[in-house]
Amino acid sequence: MGKASRRRADGAGTEHGSVHGDPDCGRKQKLADIHRALIRDPVDIQTLRRVSVTRGGLLNNELRRKVWPKLLNINVFDLPPKPGRNVREDHKDLNQVVLDVRRSMKRFPKGMPAAERGVLQDQLIDIILEVLRRHAQLHYYQGYHDVAVTLLLVVGERMAIAMLEKLSNHHLRDFMDLTMDSTKHILNYLMPILEQVDGDLHDFMVRAEVGNIFALSWLITWYGHVLSEFKHTLRLYDFFLASHPLMPIYLAAAIVLHRKQEVLQTECDMAMVHHLLSHLPEDLPFELLIGRAVDLFERFPPSLLAQQAALQSRTSLTISSFQAFQLSTLHQRPDSVLQRLTRTRSSTSSRPEWRAPAKDGGQLWREGNRLVKVAVWGLSATLGAAVLAVAQTAMDWGPEVLLQLF
């Protein structure tokens, strides 16, 4: 492995926002990088992807509410409406969705009042059914609610619908077929990666006949179902939203490789090895694993492994649509421009002579995110014009972000 690749694998990107040296300095640099990327026209998506992957990810939920929509090419001022009262009527998946959501209590913050959790669970049911109602070709799978609840807890109901809809048609698309054939196809990338990196580990797992089903819940829930710490789930969502849709399987390979000694010390028996691998330790070094997953992806891209992964000739909708999806994110306007355009359209459409109903341009989700209305900045002359510009345009940012930036 080259020096550059080794640095990436060890540090998950040790520049532009790492915590090497002065952690506060690295954090402030990352905040500044994110802010500059968001206000550029068009938005600097490449920088947003980079900071989402590098050490620490997007740092907090204030930033996630700003960056996640951009990673998926979502206009925060043009969100879908809340689900109507009839969203649950005659829906074939209603009973299963309700059962799964009611069993998902551990996915909500500890100590949350039961009444508040109940409201969120009702929203979660409606979000899932609304996306499925909009796209008849999508089929619900158990674990889909784990993705939906992560989005709901971070961005709120309407943004969660928009994000889940986009993910369901792209990153998660192969999991939403009527059969599991496409899901099995994605899982089949795991063993070829292990074979390329560590023949001994790969051969042991083949002898144990453990297969790859132990990683199924990791893959289809983006690890949300198997991680006990929500902060780890959020860190991985930063990573996956900014990456190729097969990155969760590369992370699975990184985890198995990290646990090599545990695996080899286990009895070479399918049940024993499956039990070991299907239960993730709580102390996994996720930053290290993310870095290794990135390195594995660069060394062994999906195109190199596709022939080994395919049990039969198969086209993955997730993989085949990714390049076009990625290109679609490169020409987004900053939120300040989108807001101005939305206000202009709203003002025009509300004029009496038009006799047209005002369009719902959507509202930026603001729950728990009160925007700063007045900010007093003590800027010395030495800060320079660049920092002054950041301060002047930072009014759309939450108070937590502003306090960290300066």
- The answer to whether residue 330 sits within a structural domain is no
Question: Which pLDDT value is given to residue 373?
Answer: 32
In the chain, the number of structural domains is 2
- The answer to whether residue 359 sits within a structural domain is no
- Indicate if 295 and 195 belong to the same structural domain: yes
Mean pLDDT over 43-60 rounds to: 96
Domain boundary among 287, 302, 317: 302
Residue 34: phi and psi, rounded to 5, are -65, -45
What string of DSSP letters covers 34-51?
Answer: HHHHHHSSS--HHHHHHH
The yes-or-no verdict on residue 50 having pLDDT over 50 is: yes
Domain boundary among 255, 282, 302: 302
- Indicate if 293 and 399 belong to the same structural domain: no
**30 in Cβ contact with 325 (< 8 Å):** no
- The answer to whether residue 327 sits within a structural domain is no
Say which CATH number the domain at 275 has: 1.10.472.80
Question: Which pLDDT value is given to residue 16?
Answer: 33
Domain boundary among 281, 302, 323: 302
Q: Which two tokens stand for residue 44?
A: 């600097």
- The answer to whether residue 72 sits within a structural domain is no
399 — pLDDT class (breaks 50, 70, 90): very low
**How deeply is 159 buried, as exposed, middle or buried, from its count of CB atoms within 10 A (0-12, 13-18, 19+)?**
buried
Counting every residue, how long is the chain? 406
- Domain range holding 404? 370-406
Q: Is the peptide bond before 42 cis (omega within 30 degrees of 0)?
A: yes
- Indicate if 289 and 379 belong to the same structural domain: no
- The answer to whether residue 397 sits within a structural domain is yes
- Indicate if 295 and 400 belong to the same structural domain: no
- Indicate if 377 and 287 belong to the same structural domain: no
Q: Which residue has the higher pLDDT, 72 or 19?
A: 72
- The answer to whether residue 387 sits within a structural domain is yes
Q: Which two tokens stand for residue 263?
A: 């695996």
- Indicate if 298 and 374 belong to the same structural domain: no
Per-residue pLDDT tens for 289-343?
A: 999 999 999 999 998 888 777 654 456 777 777 777 777 787 777 877 887 877 7
- The answer to whether residue 211 sits within a structural domain is yes
